[in-house]
Amino acid sequence: MPDPISPATEEPTTPAAPEEAPADAPVAGDGVGELTPPLRASSALGEAVAAFHEYMVRKGFSSNTIKAFENDLKFFTDYLGRDTKLYHVSTEDLDGFLPWMSESRGLEFSGKTQARRITTMKVFFGWLHGIGTIGTDPAEPIVHVRAQTPLPIIIRDADITRLLRTAQDGIWDRQKPDVRPYLLISLLLQTGIKKAECARLHLSDLDVSRPQSPTLAVRYAEDRHAHKNRTLTLNAAIVPALQQYREQYKPKEFLFECTPRNLEYVLEELGEKAGIRYVQVGFEALRWTCAVRDYRNNMPEDVLRQKMGLSKISWRETREKIFILAGR
């Protein structure tokens, strides 16, 4: 189990859709491996696509990545023909692919979709070149312009305090006291975990055996997500809230025995009560807010990456956004 990662000090106390670039897209030419039957430059494009599928499965690509790449390669084989010899595929053919997609289907595709299709071509032909099937990579000269996604909106420090105080007021509400909003908002501000991670937390994932340094374990069952497993240190002030929550809700297995959508409603309602209008208080905003606060508090980059459960590849884009949001 990884060493505990300390959070920023608290105030008063993510399937990629086929139209998006897969987050775990591999580096072109990664891994060689043996192919049966072996591919040659004279092999048909359709044969190479089938072999690439076997390679992706063997390498443990996510189902979303495989589905997205295969969807793009299906259109590409429709464009050139499945029987086209690999040595006949040129950079000019690849340059004409995206315009053909728009013209033949009569649709305009998003920047993310265009970027992902370029990624597919670069990974596919980079792999063929890397294993020695083709002498030159026709996709190498193609400029890969990353689709720019808008910066997320984070919650201001003053509003974080307001959120926590609003949640605390709810604990002592005479008509309908409720500790869940406070526990949830405190947990997310300290850990920055994703909605799916929060929804599947087991009671056993929270260790309060040492009340002064409680921890939260984020666990993934699949080996391909091993880098997302982590143990996060919590602020000791969360322990009384957790005990009160267990007395009020009496959860048996999961920490929050409700749907993820219900947790979203809890956060949205809390944001409305706190009078926050410029951003919807939710898992995404709180995750980015937590990350920026940690960065401003001088958490080392690699420690922050591990805390967020990100691979080194996914971290590249995330870190740039954090730098901008942190004003550095």
How would you write 105-171 as a 3-class SS string? HCCCCCHHHHHHHHHHHHHHHHHHHHCCCCCCCCCCCCCCCCCCCCCCCCCCHHHHHHHHHHHHHHH
For residue 7, being part of any structural domain is answered with no
Beta-bridge partner residues of 254: 202
Range of the domain at 191: 157-325
Greatest mean pLDDT range, 31-45, 82-96, 243-257, 312-326? 243-257
Q: Check residues 145 and 159 and name the one with the higher pLDDT.
A: 159
Query: Same domain for 117 and 181?
Result: no
Lowest-pLDDT choice from 16-25, 81-90, 196-205: 16-25
End residue of a domain, out of 96, 116, 146? 146
Q: Tell me what pLDDT residue 10 has.
A: 41
Tokens representing residue 190 in the block = 């300290």
Domains contained in the chain, number: 2
Query: Same domain for 85 and 199?
Result: no
Residue percentage of the chain with pLDDT more than 70: 84
For residue 14, being part of any structural domain is answered with no
For residue 1, being part of any structural domain is answered with no
Query: Same domain for 102 and 194?
Result: no
Query: Same domain for 185 and 267?
Result: yes
Question: For residue 6, is pLDDT > 70?
Answer: no
Q: Tell me what pLDDT residue 145 has.
A: 58
pLDDT 10s digits, 195-229: 999 999 999 999 999 999 999 999 998 888 888 99
Question: For residue 78, is pLDDT > 60?
Answer: yes
Query: Same domain for 170 and 274?
Result: yes
Q: Tell me what pLDDT residue 192 has.
A: 97
- CA angle 210-256-278, nearest 5°? 100
Query: Same domain for 317 and 186?
Result: yes
For residue 48, being part of any structural domain is answered with yes
Q: Tell me what pLDDT residue 110 has.
A: 67
For residue 61, being part of any structural domain is answered with yes
Amino acid of residue 101: M
Query: Same domain for 217 and 129?
Result: no
Query: Which residues lie below 8 Å from residue 216, measured CB to CB, with a gap of 6+?
Result: 187, 191, 193, 201, 205, 206, 207, 231, 232, 234
Determine the average pLDDT of the residues in 159-181.
Answer: 95
For residue 2, being part of any structural domain is answered with no
What's the mean pLDDT when you consider all of the chain?
86
The reported pTM is 0.62
Ranges of H-type helices in the chain: 45-59, 63-80, 91-105, 111-130, 157-171, 180-191, 195-199, 238-249, 260-273, 283-296, 301-308, 312-325
Instruction: Report d(CA 51, CA 166) in Å as an integer.
Output: 57
Give the total residue count for the chain: 328
Instruction: Report d(CA 185, CA 278) in Å as an integer.
Output: 18
Locus of tokens 């959860």 = 251
Determine the average pLDDT of the residues in 281-308.
Answer: 96
Query: Same domain for 278 and 210?
Result: yes
